[in-house]
Amino acid sequence: QHAEAAAWQARLIAGARQLGLEMQPRQAEQCWLLAGLLRERNQHVNLTAVDTLDGILTVHMLDSLAIVPHLGAAHRVIDIGTGGGFPGLPLAIACPEREFLLIDGTQKKIRFVQEAIDALRLGNARAEAVRAEQLSLPSQTDVPRVEMARFDVAIVRAVGPLRSLVAVATKLLEPATGRILAMKGKRPDAELADLPRGWMAELVPLAVPDLAAERHLVILTRREPPQRVRR
Ligand code: SAM
């Protein structure tokens, strides 16, 4: 068991390095503990279809970590529809200097995510059982409370089409600079063609170590508001 743990963590560290990330042994160990907790709870609560150690390593851990280079200077990050905690939990482990709010509409999934946050002592992550549409942040005219400030980035994996995502994320993000990082499989051409006005998309193919499947990251940013024409 010890050898299995060591080999798994070594593969994780090597995979993360391929993604440009230097993971500390402590962080790899936290991911290992998370994998164990996920497999154990998944026997009782339906959290994921992928629950072999190999599958968790690639499909959950490395796939989640593949977006770290695209978080930029983001400090406040929201993971919408985190399910069993992906990509939010591996990102919170890998980026202790950023703050994460993980939300999901399903109570039993968030119960697991909270349990994992407590077990791993992740001081930079919070979990809330709420749908994104129902999460209330102060309007721009309110004096912002620090813990309720808007987010720099919304991350999502396997949650709805881009158009509806933009609709729910808009009010949660910093008005001018907030970005959406949507993790997709194949190039989502139809969804990209159907983007709401005012947003533009950058498509980034992702190479996840040891994962044969196609992966794309869609980075959505706001277009500049149209310049006023002077007469
Ligand atoms: N992101 C996780 C992953 O990739 O493993 C889970 C993906 S799962 C297919 C989609 C999750 O999004 C479900 O757990 C669902 O409850 C949640 N969800 C969908 N729409 C949501 C919304 N508007 N607000 C909060 N959660 C949402």
Write the pLDDT tens digit of every residue in 68-88. Answer: 999 999 999 999 999 999 999
Three-state DSSP at 196 gives coil
Say which residues have a Cβ less than 8 Å from residue 139's Cβ, sequence separation at least 6: none
For residue 85, give the ligand 1 atom closest to its CA: 2
**What per-residue confidence (pLDDT) applies to 130?**
96
**Cis peptide upstream of residue 87 (ω within 30 degrees of 0):** yes
- Global model pTM greater than 0.85: yes
For residue 168, give the ligand 1 atom closest to its CA: 23
**What per-residue confidence (pLDDT) applies to 1?**
78
The predicted-structure confidence for 176-204, as pLDDT tens digits, reads as follows 899 999 999 999 999 999 999 999 999 99
The DSSP letter of residue 176 is: T
The predicted-structure confidence for 48-58, as pLDDT tens digits, reads as follows 999 999 999 99
How far, in Å, is the centroid of ligand 1 from the Cα of 82? 6
Q: β-pairing, 179-184 with 76-80?
A: unpaired
State mean pLDDT over 96-120.
98
Query: Is pLDDT above 90 for 138?
Result: no
State mean pLDDT over 92-111.
97
State mean pLDDT over 136-141.
60
* pLDDT-derived band at 146, boundaries 50, 70, 90: very low
178 compared with 229, residue with greater pLDDT: 178
Average pLDDT, the chain: 93
The secondary element (H helix, E strand) that includes residue 175 is: none
For residue 164, give the ligand 1 atom closest to its CA: 23
CA distances from 42 to 58, 60, 133, 139, 144 (A): 17, 14, 27, 38, 38
Q: Which two three-digit tokens encode residue 28?
A: 């790899």
- Does ligand 1 have an atom closer than 6 angstroms to the CB of 15? no
Q: How far apart are CA 99 and CA 96, in angstroms?
A: 8
The DSSP letter of residue 133 is: G
Closest residue by Cα to atom 3, ligand 1, is: 86
Pocket test for ligand 1, best of 159, 164, 184 (most atoms within 8 A of CB): 159
| 80 φ, ψ (degrees, to nearest 5) | -95, 125
Beta bridge partners of 216: 184, 205
